[in-house]
A and B are shown apart, each in its own frame.
Chain A
Amino acid sequence: MTPASENLYAAREPIFPKRVYGKFRTLKWVVMLVTLGIYYLTPWIRWDRGPNLPDQAVLVDLAGRRFYFFWIEIWPHEFYFVAGLLIMAGLGLFLFTSALGRVWCGYTCPQTVWTDLFILVERWIEGDRNARLKLHRAGWSLRKARLRMTKWTAWALIGLATGGAWVFYFADAPTLMRDLLSFQAAPVAYATIAVLTATTFVFGGLMREQVCIYMCPWPRIQGAMMDNDTLTVGYRDWRGEPRGKSRDANVGDCVDCMACVNVCPMGIDIRDGQQMECITCALCIDACDDVMGKLGRDRGLIDYLALSDAPREQAGEVPRPFWQHVLRPRTILYTCIWAAIGAAMVYALFIRPEIEMTVAPVRNPTFVTLSDGAVRNTYELRLRNKHGEPRMFGLHVNGDLSLNLSLEGTAYSAVQVPADDTLKLRVYLTAASASTPATQGETPVRFWVEDLGNGERAYRNTVFNGAGE
């Protein structure tokens, strides 16, 4: 029986990461600048596609069912490109994790980037770690209320900008901006912004590391991606232990200053060894290097380490060079698969047919007998025009069967397909009375379509149903 006093629930311990300087912190600022820049600015890039198409470089047109990415336009039936990109993203994560540990989590994950941004704002408004700790412990006062309100307002504005940027990917950004400001945009735009503002505020401001620890599945999967040769943030305990402030020869390099703990956005102690919470943001490396530098000791007490190098270093040998950790059969294999999918997609993109046609024989009924005894089949054709201007397409059927092709509603065998659209056609093939295709069961036929503007051709195979068995 569990005694009532033993509670399984533990409240969150607030974390107040301290400002840190160093090369990894600088790298993280650059990554933040680049990723946030891409996210906020991409919808505003213009790209001229001609008169009938949107001029936004990256646009997910849900209503028109198109995805525009610079010079690439993807239709719904080409969604496999998106699937391929997702597979590449997954393999890319495998690759980077097996080589460099949770480098995605530590540097580029939106949760990390936005949390970093929120902590930056928090630090500007409420001060560094000690000031924030003091404010946290202090009772409510006018000053605390003012600081808290300022911080929350700033967070909410960042959230608003985040949600606001998201909707611009789904509509023409300048138009939507005008509509949003004049309260004429679609309700779904406001709802999306509201939801994303709220989630950004809550995830970046309030939940922070809890998202990584409790909500995200990736930390749990990553264990399978890492091995002993993976470079990950670690503590050279053989050098640091036992900790102590004295200059005694028996005492290790770690002076137990807690700098590494104070800067950790996850609130952990890296000296406890590798742990699930660690996102390998490397800020503890910066913090420790700073202390070691001031004390005149060797840097790298906390460093990017591989487990396989630990016994080597303890034995006084030189650890293996960086490239040996990165270039391993496993990472090479991941790279090859990743590159193969990428190459296949680029290939698929280039051989993507300019003309697309589907042919569906009408099977209710399979054939019609005409008054002169001829047998007629009906086909439903869909012609896609992927260009920004209307195009004429000519149709014919392979000639060795003496089948007569005609189109519903026109005397010609050519049709105009509107710009960036699909046209559905009813097409008839007629076999003369007592001819071979009219009397036998199924006859294979091939529809040819030709872009009359540039002479490009494509075909689809189907069958002609005769009156025979």
Chain B
Amino acid sequence: MGEPRKDDLTGRETMGHEFDGIEELNTPMPRWWLITFYLTVIWGIGYTIAFPAWPMISGATAGLLGYSTRGEVTQDIASHEAANANLVEDLNAVNLAAFDPQSDLHRYAVARGASVFRAQCSQCHGSGAAGAKGYPNLLDNDWLWGGSLEEVAHSVRHGIRNETDDDAHWSQMPAFGEIREATEIDTLVSFLPTLPDADWDSPGGALFADNCASCHGDAGLGDRSQGAPNLADAIWLYGGDPDSLTQTITYSRFGVMPAWGQRLTEVDVRAVSTYVHSLGGGE
């Protein structure tokens, strides 16, 4: 280490280091670079004052400009809501029994309903609305409580077998394991798959007439007024194999759906019902 001195060859100042006769020239940062650097520092300080930046014990400094990304999203959503206000109003007013499927409003309802469905319904009914064991397939033409748009909307709005909505569809199948012998249940299980062309004079037919026909109908075609499934068709919500049928009859089933009218706006109820109705099974 020596004192800074002028380098003979270049006439420039050295840094004062010397290693085995090699010296480092003093090459300061270019002026423009330094100025830019200091400007960014000043900008940075100004930025943290103007915008939310410094973490505090609870929350962070809000910034003088009062900007927040959350606020921007809220504004964004509000502007879209405002743009759709007319459609929402029309959808709330439309008569669901006479909803023209070729209208622009119907297309809007289907598009809006599709996003509601993905967010609220797909957890049980599946993202493709194909359902699962115990969760009805909404694509087929078999409906427990009715498949017209109004009936679908009623099911969505009030739900099924929930205690929060007085208008919820409600029915309860008895657990026949407590009423009937296991052998009788076995007889019924072997009788059910023969519907609808069944031998009604068989022991199974007699058992069916005594125990099941009051809800599922004399021919086993079901009753939508009490959500009793059609037992003569190809669709089994809980499985149509003997083990599943035995379990269903012995312990009964109790499918529940929330009353979405309490959680969604009326327009979203109507939209998601229209969407479900438009998937191929609507009546």
Q: Which residues in A have some Cβ–Cβ distance to B below 8 Å?
A: 1, 3-4, 362, 364-365, 368-373, 376, 378, 408-410, 426, 428, 433
Contacts and interface: CB of A to CB of B under 8 A. Distances in A.
Contacts of A369: 140, 234-235
Contacts, number: 59
Contacts of B10: 1, 3-4
Nearest to B128: A364
A1 B126 CA distance: 73
Interface in B257-282: 278-280
A370 B12 CA distance: 91
A410 B102 CA distance: 8
Given A369-B140, A370-B141, 5 more contacts: A1-B9, A368-B280, A370-B235, A376-B140, A409-B106
A308 to B, nearest CB: 50
Interface string B230-246: 10011100000000000
B101 A408 contact: yes
B71 interface: no
A370 B140 contact: yes
A372 B225 CA distance: 21
B278 A365 contact: no
Interface of A, helix, strand, loop or mixed by DSSP: loop
Interface string B56-71: 0000000000000000
Interface string B1-31: 0000000011110000000000000000000
Contact of A370 (B102, B127, B234, B279): B234
15 contacts: A4-B11, A364-B126, A365-B130, A368-B137, A368-B139, A369-B234, A373-B233, A373-B234, A376-B139, A378-B280, A408-B280, A409-B278, A410-B101, A426-B279, A428-B280
Contacts of A368: 130, 137, 139-140, 280
Interface in B114-145: 126-128, 130, 137, 139-142
A365 B280 contact: no
A454 B8 CA distance: 93
**3 closest pairs, A vs B, by CB?**
A409-B101, A364-B128, A371-B233
A1 B128 CA distance: 72
Contact of A362 (B106, B128, B142, B233): B128
A407 to B, nearest CB: 10
Contacts of B12: 4
Given A362-B128, A409-B278, A371 B11 contact: no
A214 to B, nearest CB: 21
Q: Which of B102, B128, B278 neighbours the largest number of chain A CB atoms within 10 Å of its CB? A: B128
B119 to A, nearest CB: 16
Interface of B: 9-12, 101-102, 106, 126-128, 130, 137, 139-142, 230, 233-235, 278-280
A46 B235 CA distance: 62
Nearest to A408: B278
Contact of A364 (B130, B233, B234, B278): B130
A274 to B, nearest CB: 38
B22 to A, nearest CB: 12
A348 to B, nearest CB: 33
Contact of B280 (A3, A373, A376): A376
B233 A372 contact: yes
Given A4-B11, A376-B280, A365 B230 contact: no
A226 to B, nearest CB: 41
B10 to A, nearest CB: 6
B130 A426 contact: no
Contacts of B141: 370-371
Given A364-B127, A368-B139, A426 B234 contact: no
A9 to B, nearest CB: 13
Contacts of B139: 365, 368, 376, 378
A364 to B, nearest CB: 3
Contacts of B279: 426
A433 B279 CA distance: 20
B8 to A, nearest CB: 11
A378 B12 CA distance: 81
A433 B234 contact: yes
Contacts of B140: 368-371, 376
Nearest to B101: A409
Nearest to B127: A364
A368 B128 CA distance: 11
A365 B126 CA distance: 9
A373 B140 CA distance: 10
B102 A372 contact: no
Nearest to B131: A365
A371 B106 contact: no
A175 B233 CA distance: 63
A365 B127 CA distance: 9
Contacts of A373: 233-234
B223 to A, nearest CB: 15
A410 B103 CA distance: 12
Contact of A365 (B11, B102, B128): B128
Contacts of B128: 362, 364-365
A363 to B, nearest CB: 8
B278 A372 contact: no
A372 B196 CA distance: 11
B140 to A, nearest CB: 5
